[in-house]
Amino acid sequence: MTDSSLAEQARSTFERLRLLINGTWTSGTSDKEEPVINPANGRALGMLPHASPADIEAAVQAAQRGFLVWAVTPAIERRRVLLEAARLLRERIPLLAHILTLEQGKTLDESRAELGSAIDIFEWYAEETRRIYGRTIPARQVGTVQTVTHEPIGIAAAFTPWNFPALTPARKMAGAIAAGCSCIIKASEETPATCIALATACMDAGLPPGVLNVVFGVPSEVSQALLEHPLVRKVSFTGSIAVGKHLSMQAAEHGMKRCTMELGGHAPVLVFDDADVDRAAEICAAGRFRNAGQVCVAPSRFYVQRSAYARFVERFQQAADRLVVGDGLEKTTTMGPLASQRRISAMKSFVDDAVARGARVVSGGSNIERDGFFWRPTVLADVPDEARAMREETFGPIAPIAPFDSMNEALARANALPFGLASFVFTSSGTLAVQASSGLAAGMVGVNNLGISIAEAPFGGVKESGIGSEGGIEGLQAYLLTKFISSMQA
Protein backbone atom coordinates (compact mmCIF):
# COMPACT_ATOMS: atom_id res chain seq x y z
CA MET A 1 0.00 0.00 0.00
CA THR A 2 1.51 3.33 -1.06
CA ASP A 3 1.90 6.36 1.19
CA SER A 4 -0.66 8.27 -0.91
CA SER A 5 -3.15 5.41 -0.63
CA LEU A 6 -2.67 5.26 3.14
CA ALA A 7 -3.14 9.03 3.39
CA GLU A 8 -6.35 8.88 1.38
CA GLN A 9 -7.80 6.01 3.44
CA ALA A 10 -6.85 7.77 6.66
CA ARG A 11 -8.50 10.99 5.48
CA SER A 12 -11.66 9.03 4.74
CA THR A 13 -11.53 7.46 8.21
CA PHE A 14 -11.51 10.83 9.93
CA GLU A 15 -14.38 12.05 7.77
CA ARG A 16 -16.69 9.35 9.19
CA LEU A 17 -16.00 9.16 12.91
CA ARG A 18 -18.97 7.52 14.61
CA LEU A 19 -20.35 5.99 17.80
CA LEU A 20 -20.94 2.24 18.00
CA ILE A 21 -24.25 1.31 19.63
CA ASN A 22 -25.85 -2.14 19.39
CA GLY A 23 -23.66 -3.15 16.46
CA THR A 24 -24.46 -0.05 14.39
CA TRP A 25 -22.14 2.86 13.61
CA THR A 26 -24.09 6.05 14.16
CA SER A 27 -23.67 9.80 14.59
CA GLY A 28 -26.07 9.61 17.52
CA THR A 29 -28.82 12.00 18.45
CA SER A 30 -26.78 14.86 19.90
CA ASP A 31 -25.99 18.02 17.95
CA LYS A 32 -22.63 18.32 19.73
CA GLU A 33 -19.32 17.47 18.10
CA GLU A 34 -15.67 18.46 18.43
CA PRO A 35 -12.63 18.54 16.15
CA VAL A 36 -9.90 15.90 16.29
CA ILE A 37 -6.59 17.76 16.00
CA ASN A 38 -3.36 16.59 14.39
CA PRO A 39 -0.72 17.58 17.01
CA ALA A 40 1.96 17.81 14.33
CA ASN A 41 0.32 20.82 12.67
CA GLY A 42 -2.59 21.92 14.86
CA ARG A 43 -5.14 21.33 12.09
CA ALA A 44 -8.42 19.43 12.35
CA LEU A 45 -8.52 15.88 11.00
CA GLY A 46 -12.27 15.46 11.35
CA MET A 47 -15.27 16.05 13.57
CA LEU A 48 -16.24 13.64 16.35
CA PRO A 49 -19.89 13.33 17.38
CA HIS A 50 -20.83 13.32 21.06
CA ALA A 51 -23.30 10.88 22.53
CA SER A 52 -26.51 12.31 23.97
CA PRO A 53 -28.01 11.00 27.25
CA ALA A 54 -30.39 8.97 25.09
CA ASP A 55 -27.43 7.49 23.21
CA ILE A 56 -25.76 6.51 26.49
CA GLU A 57 -28.96 4.84 27.67
CA ALA A 58 -29.26 3.02 24.34
CA ALA A 59 -25.66 1.81 24.68
CA VAL A 60 -26.33 0.47 28.19
CA GLN A 61 -29.49 -1.34 27.12
CA ALA A 62 -27.64 -2.79 24.12
CA ALA A 63 -24.80 -3.87 26.38
CA GLN A 64 -27.25 -5.60 28.71
CA ARG A 65 -28.77 -7.54 25.82
CA GLY A 66 -25.30 -8.31 24.52
CA PHE A 67 -24.18 -9.52 27.93
CA LEU A 68 -27.07 -11.97 28.21
CA VAL A 69 -25.94 -13.53 24.93
CA TRP A 70 -22.17 -13.33 25.42
CA ALA A 71 -22.06 -14.56 29.02
CA VAL A 72 -23.40 -17.96 27.95
CA THR A 73 -21.38 -18.13 24.73
CA PRO A 74 -18.85 -20.99 24.99
CA ALA A 75 -15.30 -19.93 25.76
CA ILE A 76 -14.06 -21.54 22.57
CA GLU A 77 -16.27 -19.18 20.54
CA ARG A 78 -15.08 -16.13 22.49
CA ARG A 79 -11.56 -17.32 21.72
CA ARG A 80 -12.35 -17.57 18.01
CA VAL A 81 -13.72 -14.02 17.83
CA LEU A 82 -10.73 -12.52 19.66
CA LEU A 83 -8.22 -14.40 17.49
CA GLU A 84 -10.01 -13.32 14.33
CA ALA A 85 -10.03 -9.71 15.51
CA ALA A 86 -6.29 -9.99 16.16
CA ARG A 87 -5.73 -11.40 12.67
CA LEU A 88 -7.67 -8.57 11.06
CA LEU A 89 -5.81 -5.95 13.08
CA ARG A 90 -2.47 -7.43 12.04
CA GLU A 91 -3.50 -7.21 8.39
CA ARG A 92 -4.49 -3.57 8.88
CA ILE A 93 -1.35 -2.38 10.72
CA PRO A 94 -0.05 -0.13 7.88
CA LEU A 95 -3.27 1.90 7.77
CA LEU A 96 -3.90 1.85 11.52
CA ALA A 97 -0.34 3.03 12.26
CA HIS A 98 -0.89 5.95 9.89
CA ILE A 99 -4.17 6.83 11.63
CA LEU A 100 -2.65 6.50 15.10
CA THR A 101 0.28 8.77 14.21
CA LEU A 102 -2.02 11.38 12.68
CA GLU A 103 -4.20 11.73 15.76
CA GLN A 104 -1.66 11.07 18.53
CA GLY A 105 1.65 12.27 17.05
CA LYS A 106 4.08 9.46 17.87
CA THR A 107 6.39 8.14 15.17
CA LEU A 108 5.22 5.47 12.76
CA ASP A 109 7.66 3.00 14.29
CA GLU A 110 6.17 3.65 17.72
CA SER A 111 2.64 3.34 16.33
CA ARG A 112 3.45 -0.01 14.71
CA ALA A 113 4.99 -1.25 17.95
CA GLU A 114 1.97 -0.16 19.97
CA LEU A 115 -0.41 -1.89 17.58
CA GLY A 116 1.70 -5.03 17.82
CA SER A 117 1.39 -4.94 21.60
CA ALA A 118 -2.38 -4.38 21.36
CA ILE A 119 -2.70 -7.40 19.08
CA ASP A 120 -0.64 -9.47 21.53
CA ILE A 121 -3.22 -8.60 24.18
CA PHE A 122 -6.10 -9.80 22.01
CA GLU A 123 -4.25 -13.06 21.34
CA TRP A 124 -3.30 -13.55 24.99
CA TYR A 125 -6.83 -13.08 26.25
CA ALA A 126 -8.17 -15.27 23.47
CA GLU A 127 -6.16 -18.21 24.78
CA GLU A 128 -6.97 -17.40 28.41
CA THR A 129 -10.70 -17.83 27.75
CA ARG A 130 -10.09 -21.61 27.88
CA ARG A 131 -8.38 -21.35 31.26
CA ILE A 132 -11.05 -19.72 33.40
CA TYR A 133 -10.83 -22.61 35.81
CA GLY A 134 -12.88 -23.25 38.92
CA ARG A 135 -12.09 -25.82 41.60
CA THR A 136 -13.67 -28.46 43.82
CA ILE A 137 -13.27 -28.19 47.58
CA PRO A 138 -13.32 -31.46 49.58
CA ALA A 139 -16.66 -31.59 51.38
CA ARG A 140 -17.07 -32.02 55.11
CA GLN A 141 -20.09 -34.28 54.71
CA VAL A 142 -20.89 -37.29 52.57
CA GLY A 143 -23.22 -36.41 49.71
CA THR A 144 -22.06 -32.81 49.44
CA VAL A 145 -20.25 -31.26 46.49
CA GLN A 146 -18.48 -27.93 47.00
CA THR A 147 -17.29 -25.98 43.98
CA VAL A 148 -15.89 -22.56 43.15
CA THR A 149 -16.83 -21.05 39.80
CA HIS A 150 -16.01 -17.82 37.99
CA GLU A 151 -18.69 -15.87 36.15
CA PRO A 152 -18.57 -12.69 34.03
CA ILE A 153 -19.37 -9.67 36.15
CA GLY A 154 -21.71 -7.89 33.69
CA ILE A 155 -21.46 -4.62 31.79
CA ALA A 156 -18.02 -2.99 32.03
CA ALA A 157 -17.59 0.76 31.55
CA ALA A 158 -14.08 1.55 30.30
CA PHE A 159 -12.36 4.93 30.06
CA THR A 160 -9.03 5.41 28.27
CA PRO A 161 -6.62 8.34 27.68
CA TRP A 162 -4.98 9.71 24.55
CA ASN A 163 -1.35 8.65 24.95
CA PHE A 164 -1.75 4.98 23.95
CA PRO A 165 -4.93 4.90 21.85
CA ALA A 166 -4.50 1.25 20.79
CA LEU A 167 -2.80 -0.44 23.75
CA THR A 168 -4.97 0.88 26.57
CA PRO A 169 -8.36 0.24 24.93
CA ALA A 170 -7.14 -3.22 23.91
CA ARG A 171 -6.44 -4.15 27.52
CA LYS A 172 -9.98 -3.24 28.54
CA MET A 173 -11.86 -4.47 25.47
CA ALA A 174 -10.11 -7.83 25.21
CA GLY A 175 -10.23 -8.51 28.96
CA ALA A 176 -13.96 -7.86 29.15
CA ILE A 177 -14.77 -9.82 25.99
CA ALA A 178 -12.64 -12.80 27.03
CA ALA A 179 -14.35 -12.99 30.42
CA GLY A 180 -17.83 -13.00 28.84
CA CYS A 181 -18.70 -9.41 29.76
CA SER A 182 -20.09 -6.70 27.55
CA CYS A 183 -18.26 -3.38 27.38
CA ILE A 184 -19.03 0.29 26.81
CA ILE A 185 -15.79 2.10 26.11
CA LYS A 186 -15.26 5.84 26.10
CA ALA A 187 -11.88 6.40 24.51
CA SER A 188 -10.23 9.80 24.46
CA GLU A 189 -11.93 12.38 22.26
CA GLU A 190 -8.43 13.48 21.19
CA THR A 191 -7.58 10.08 19.69
CA PRO A 192 -10.86 8.35 18.78
CA ALA A 193 -10.09 6.78 15.41
CA THR A 194 -7.72 4.12 16.71
CA CYS A 195 -10.25 2.83 19.23
CA ILE A 196 -12.89 2.85 16.52
CA ALA A 197 -10.56 0.73 14.38
CA LEU A 198 -10.16 -1.82 17.20
CA ALA A 199 -13.92 -2.02 17.62
CA THR A 200 -14.38 -2.36 13.86
CA ALA A 201 -12.07 -5.38 13.85
CA CYS A 202 -14.09 -6.95 16.67
CA MET A 203 -17.35 -6.45 14.81
CA ASP A 204 -15.82 -7.75 11.56
CA ALA A 205 -14.65 -10.80 13.52
CA GLY A 206 -18.23 -11.69 14.44
CA LEU A 207 -18.75 -10.15 17.86
CA PRO A 208 -22.52 -10.05 18.50
CA PRO A 209 -24.26 -6.66 18.53
CA GLY A 210 -24.21 -4.91 21.90
CA VAL A 211 -21.25 -6.79 23.36
CA LEU A 212 -19.00 -3.84 22.53
CA ASN A 213 -20.20 -0.23 22.34
CA VAL A 214 -18.13 2.91 21.73
CA VAL A 215 -19.23 6.37 22.87
CA PHE A 216 -17.67 9.82 23.08
CA GLY A 217 -18.62 13.07 24.76
CA VAL A 218 -17.79 15.37 27.64
CA PRO A 219 -15.84 12.98 29.89
CA SER A 220 -17.48 13.98 33.17
CA GLU A 221 -20.97 13.69 31.67
CA VAL A 222 -20.37 10.29 30.09
CA SER A 223 -18.71 8.86 33.19
CA GLN A 224 -21.47 10.13 35.47
CA ALA A 225 -24.18 8.60 33.28
CA LEU A 226 -22.43 5.22 33.15
CA LEU A 227 -21.33 5.02 36.78
CA GLU A 228 -24.78 5.96 38.07
CA HIS A 229 -26.49 3.37 35.90
CA PRO A 230 -27.53 0.28 37.90
CA LEU A 231 -26.85 -2.10 35.00
CA VAL A 232 -23.15 -1.16 34.84
CA ARG A 233 -21.22 -3.43 37.22
CA LYS A 234 -17.55 -2.84 36.45
CA VAL A 235 -15.41 0.28 35.93
CA SER A 236 -11.95 0.30 34.37
CA PHE A 237 -10.18 3.65 34.15
CA THR A 238 -6.74 4.77 33.03
CA GLY A 239 -5.89 8.39 33.72
CA SER A 240 -5.13 10.91 36.42
CA ILE A 241 -5.21 10.25 40.14
CA ALA A 242 -7.73 13.02 40.79
CA VAL A 243 -10.22 11.67 38.25
CA GLY A 244 -9.60 8.09 39.38
CA LYS A 245 -10.47 8.98 42.96
CA HIS A 246 -13.62 10.75 41.84
CA LEU A 247 -14.76 7.79 39.73
CA SER A 248 -13.99 5.37 42.57
CA MET A 249 -16.23 7.33 44.90
CA GLN A 250 -19.00 7.39 42.30
CA ALA A 251 -18.63 3.66 41.75
CA ALA A 252 -18.90 3.00 45.47
CA GLU A 253 -21.90 5.27 45.91
CA HIS A 254 -23.87 3.78 43.02
CA GLY A 255 -23.85 0.08 43.71
CA MET A 256 -20.31 -0.76 44.88
CA LYS A 257 -19.18 -1.35 41.30
CA ARG A 258 -15.88 -3.17 41.02
CA CYS A 259 -13.02 -0.88 39.97
CA THR A 260 -9.70 -1.24 38.22
CA MET A 261 -7.78 2.02 38.40
CA GLU A 262 -4.50 2.53 36.55
CA LEU A 263 -3.52 6.03 37.61
CA GLY A 264 -0.53 8.35 37.47
CA GLY A 265 3.06 7.56 38.24
CA HIS A 266 6.49 9.16 38.45
CA ALA A 267 8.91 6.28 37.89
CA PRO A 268 12.22 6.56 39.72
CA VAL A 269 15.40 5.07 38.23
CA LEU A 270 18.30 4.00 40.44
CA VAL A 271 21.62 3.77 38.57
CA PHE A 272 24.41 2.27 40.67
CA ASP A 273 28.06 2.90 39.88
CA ASP A 274 28.71 -0.78 39.10
CA ALA A 275 26.21 -0.66 36.19
CA ASP A 276 27.14 -0.35 32.54
CA VAL A 277 26.59 3.39 32.75
CA ASP A 278 26.75 4.11 29.02
CA ARG A 279 24.19 1.41 28.25
CA ALA A 280 21.97 2.52 31.14
CA ALA A 281 21.98 6.11 29.86
CA GLU A 282 21.08 5.02 26.33
CA ILE A 283 18.24 2.77 27.53
CA CYS A 284 16.89 5.41 29.90
CA ALA A 285 17.00 8.18 27.29
CA ALA A 286 15.15 6.01 24.79
CA GLY A 287 12.52 5.23 27.41
CA ARG A 288 12.23 8.80 28.68
CA PHE A 289 11.70 10.32 25.24
CA ARG A 290 9.51 7.56 23.77
CA ASN A 291 6.16 9.03 22.75
CA ALA A 292 7.63 12.44 23.63
CA GLY A 293 7.70 11.39 27.28
CA GLN A 294 3.92 10.91 27.39
CA VAL A 295 4.10 7.47 29.00
CA CYS A 296 2.80 6.70 32.49
CA VAL A 297 5.47 4.05 33.15
CA ALA A 298 8.37 5.86 31.50
CA PRO A 299 11.52 6.36 33.58
CA SER A 300 10.94 9.91 34.72
CA ARG A 301 13.33 10.88 37.56
CA PHE A 302 16.88 9.63 37.67
CA TYR A 303 19.00 9.00 40.76
CA VAL A 304 22.61 8.15 39.83
CA GLN A 305 25.34 7.08 42.25
CA ARG A 306 27.74 10.00 42.57
CA SER A 307 30.86 8.36 41.07
CA ALA A 308 28.90 7.51 37.90
CA TYR A 309 26.86 10.70 37.80
CA ALA A 310 28.90 12.89 35.41
CA ARG A 311 29.29 10.07 32.88
CA PHE A 312 25.57 9.25 32.97
CA VAL A 313 24.56 12.90 32.44
CA GLU A 314 26.99 13.23 29.53
CA ARG A 315 25.74 10.12 27.73
CA PHE A 316 22.10 11.01 28.41
CA GLN A 317 22.68 14.44 26.87
CA GLN A 318 24.30 12.90 23.81
CA ALA A 319 21.34 10.56 23.33
CA ALA A 320 18.89 13.46 23.67
CA ASP A 321 20.80 15.61 21.18
CA ARG A 322 20.66 12.86 18.55
CA LEU A 323 16.86 12.86 18.50
CA VAL A 324 15.12 14.37 15.47
CA VAL A 325 11.90 16.11 16.50
CA GLY A 326 9.17 16.41 13.90
CA ASP A 327 6.01 15.03 12.33
CA GLY A 328 5.69 11.37 13.23
CA LEU A 329 4.86 10.53 9.60
CA GLU A 330 8.29 11.69 8.43
CA LYS A 331 10.77 8.84 8.16
CA THR A 332 13.61 10.83 9.75
CA THR A 333 11.60 11.75 12.86
CA THR A 334 12.57 9.99 16.08
CA MET A 335 10.37 12.01 18.47
CA GLY A 336 6.97 13.42 17.64
CA PRO A 337 4.95 16.30 19.08
CA LEU A 338 3.20 16.68 22.39
CA ALA A 339 -0.55 16.19 22.51
CA SER A 340 -1.62 19.82 22.75
CA GLN A 341 -0.57 23.39 23.34
CA ARG A 342 -1.34 23.05 27.04
CA ARG A 343 1.44 20.45 27.29
CA ILE A 344 3.93 22.99 25.93
CA SER A 345 2.93 25.42 28.67
CA ALA A 346 3.31 22.66 31.25
CA MET A 347 6.84 21.82 30.06
CA LYS A 348 7.91 25.45 30.32
CA SER A 349 6.63 25.68 33.88
CA PHE A 350 8.53 22.54 34.92
CA VAL A 351 11.80 23.79 33.44
CA ASP A 352 11.43 27.31 34.85
CA ASP A 353 10.74 25.92 38.31
CA ALA A 354 13.72 23.54 38.23
CA VAL A 355 16.12 26.27 37.07
CA ALA A 356 14.84 28.64 39.75
CA ARG A 357 15.71 25.97 42.33
CA GLY A 358 19.27 25.48 41.06
CA ALA A 359 19.02 22.87 38.31
CA ARG A 360 21.13 23.07 35.15
CA VAL A 361 19.64 22.79 31.66
CA VAL A 362 22.03 20.39 29.95
CA SER A 363 20.03 20.00 26.75
CA GLY A 364 16.82 21.40 25.28
CA GLY A 365 14.61 23.35 27.63
CA SER A 366 12.41 25.16 25.12
CA ASN A 367 9.71 24.70 22.53
CA ILE A 368 10.30 24.58 18.78
CA GLU A 369 8.78 27.43 16.82
CA ARG A 370 6.73 25.72 14.11
CA ASP A 371 3.19 24.55 13.51
CA GLY A 372 2.16 21.87 15.95
CA PHE A 373 3.10 21.21 19.56
CA PHE A 374 6.83 20.50 19.71
CA TRP A 375 9.22 20.61 22.68
CA ARG A 376 12.94 19.90 22.59
CA PRO A 377 14.15 16.80 24.46
CA THR A 378 15.26 18.27 27.76
CA VAL A 379 17.90 17.05 30.20
CA LEU A 380 18.13 18.71 33.61
CA ALA A 381 21.06 18.02 35.95
CA ASP A 382 21.54 18.67 39.68
CA VAL A 383 17.79 18.80 40.18
CA PRO A 384 16.83 19.15 43.86
CA ASP A 385 14.07 16.94 45.26
CA GLU A 386 11.85 19.94 45.93
CA ALA A 387 11.68 20.83 42.22
CA ARG A 388 8.29 20.11 40.67
CA ALA A 389 9.90 17.91 38.01
CA MET A 390 11.00 15.56 40.81
CA ARG A 391 7.65 15.59 42.58
CA GLU A 392 5.02 15.78 39.80
CA GLU A 393 4.61 13.66 36.70
CA THR A 394 5.86 15.87 33.86
CA PHE A 395 4.31 13.65 31.16
CA GLY A 396 6.65 15.14 28.59
CA PRO A 397 10.24 14.97 27.27
CA ILE A 398 11.96 16.22 30.43
CA ALA A 399 14.58 14.13 32.24
CA PRO A 400 15.55 15.41 35.72
CA ILE A 401 18.76 13.84 37.07
CA ALA A 402 20.30 13.99 40.56
CA PRO A 403 23.15 12.19 42.35
CA PHE A 404 22.90 9.88 45.38
CA ASP A 405 25.45 8.35 47.73
CA SER A 406 23.91 5.28 49.39
CA MET A 407 21.29 2.60 48.78
CA ASN A 408 19.21 3.71 51.74
CA GLU A 409 19.25 7.31 50.54
CA ALA A 410 18.25 6.32 47.01
CA LEU A 411 15.36 4.14 48.18
CA ALA A 412 14.10 6.79 50.57
CA ARG A 413 14.05 9.43 47.85
CA ALA A 414 12.54 7.07 45.27
CA ASN A 415 9.74 6.04 47.65
CA ALA A 416 9.06 9.52 49.03
CA LEU A 417 6.23 10.30 46.60
CA PRO A 418 2.65 9.00 46.84
CA PHE A 419 3.01 7.23 43.49
CA GLY A 420 3.93 3.60 42.95
CA LEU A 421 3.37 2.53 39.35
CA ALA A 422 6.81 1.64 37.94
CA SER A 423 10.44 1.77 39.06
CA PHE A 424 13.75 0.79 37.48
CA VAL A 425 17.19 -0.35 38.66
CA PHE A 426 20.50 -0.55 36.82
CA THR A 427 23.33 -2.55 38.42
CA SER A 428 25.62 -5.48 37.65
CA SER A 429 25.28 -6.82 41.20
CA GLY A 430 22.68 -9.50 41.83
CA THR A 431 22.61 -8.54 45.49
CA LEU A 432 21.95 -4.87 44.76
CA ALA A 433 19.31 -5.80 42.19
CA VAL A 434 17.40 -7.88 44.75
CA GLN A 435 17.72 -5.30 47.51
CA ALA A 436 16.67 -2.39 45.32
CA SER A 437 13.79 -4.13 43.53
CA SER A 438 12.48 -5.44 46.87
CA GLY A 439 12.80 -2.04 48.50
CA LEU A 440 11.06 -0.02 45.79
CA ALA A 441 7.38 0.66 46.45
CA ALA A 442 5.96 0.00 42.98
CA GLY A 443 3.65 -2.38 41.20
CA MET A 444 6.27 -3.05 38.51
CA VAL A 445 10.07 -3.02 38.64
CA GLY A 446 12.48 -3.34 35.71
CA VAL A 447 16.06 -4.40 36.42
CA ASN A 448 18.54 -3.43 33.68
CA ASN A 449 15.64 -3.06 31.25
CA LEU A 450 12.38 -1.17 30.76
CA GLY A 451 10.27 -4.10 29.53
CA ILE A 452 7.52 -4.13 32.13
CA SER A 453 4.45 -3.95 29.87
CA ILE A 454 3.66 -7.28 28.21
CA ALA A 455 0.35 -9.03 27.61
CA GLU A 456 1.01 -11.98 29.90
CA ALA A 457 2.09 -9.94 32.95
CA PRO A 458 0.00 -7.86 35.38
CA PHE A 459 0.11 -4.11 34.78
CA GLY A 460 -0.81 -1.91 37.73
CA GLY A 461 0.45 0.16 40.62
CA VAL A 462 0.34 0.64 44.37
CA LYS A 463 -0.36 3.62 46.63
CA GLU A 464 -2.06 6.41 44.67
CA SER A 465 -1.07 4.84 41.35
CA GLY A 466 -4.13 2.66 41.38
CA ILE A 467 -6.05 -0.44 42.35
CA GLY A 468 -5.92 -3.78 40.57
CA SER A 469 -4.11 -4.91 37.44
CA GLU A 470 -4.68 -5.24 33.74
CA GLY A 471 -2.92 -7.88 31.68
CA GLY A 472 -1.99 -11.40 32.68
CA ILE A 473 -4.35 -13.70 34.53
CA GLU A 474 -4.97 -10.86 36.99
CA GLY A 475 -6.46 -8.75 34.22
CA LEU A 476 -8.95 -11.46 33.34
CA GLN A 477 -9.92 -12.03 36.97
CA ALA A 478 -10.85 -8.34 37.21
CA TYR A 479 -13.88 -9.05 34.99
CA LEU A 480 -15.00 -12.20 36.83
CA LEU A 481 -17.07 -12.86 39.93
CA THR A 482 -16.14 -15.70 42.25
CA LYS A 483 -19.02 -17.91 43.35
CA PHE A 484 -18.93 -20.73 45.94
CA ILE A 485 -21.59 -23.46 45.51
CA SER A 486 -22.27 -26.03 48.22
CA SER A 487 -24.65 -28.70 46.91
CA MET A 488 -26.08 -31.44 49.15
CA GLN A 489 -28.07 -34.41 47.93
CA ALA A 490 -31.77 -34.01 48.71
The pLDDT of residue 411:
98
Instruction: State how far Cα 363 lies from the chain centre.
Output: 28
Q: How far is CA 43 from CA 332, 342, 371, in A?
A: 22, 16, 9
Q: What is the CATH number of domain 3-263+465-485?
A: 3.40.605.10
- By the 10 Å C-beta count (0-12 exposed, 13-18 middle, 19+ buried), 436 is classed as buried
Task: Say what the pTM is.
Answer: 0.96
The pLDDT of residue 1:
67
DSSP label at 296? T
Q: What is the mean pLDDT of each run of 10 residues along the chain (490 residues)?
A: 86 96 98 97 98 98 98 98 98 98 98 98 98 96 96 98 98 98 98 98 98 98 98 98 97 97 97 98 98 98 98 98 98 97 97 98 96 98 98 98 98 98 98 98 98 97 97 97 94
- Topology alike, domains 3-263+465-485 and 267-454: no
The pLDDT of residue 279:
98
List the domain boundaries for the chain. Answer: 3-263+465-485, 267-454
Neighbour count for residue 156 (Cβ, 10 Å): 30
Query: CATH top-level class for 267-454?
Result: alpha beta
Instruction: State how far Cα 246 lies from the chain centre.
Output: 19
DSSP label at 131? G
Q: How many CA atoms lie within 13 A of 84 on its CB side?
A: 14
Name the residues annotated as catalytic. Answer: 262, 296
The pLDDT of residue 2:
80
The pLDDT of residue 4:
84
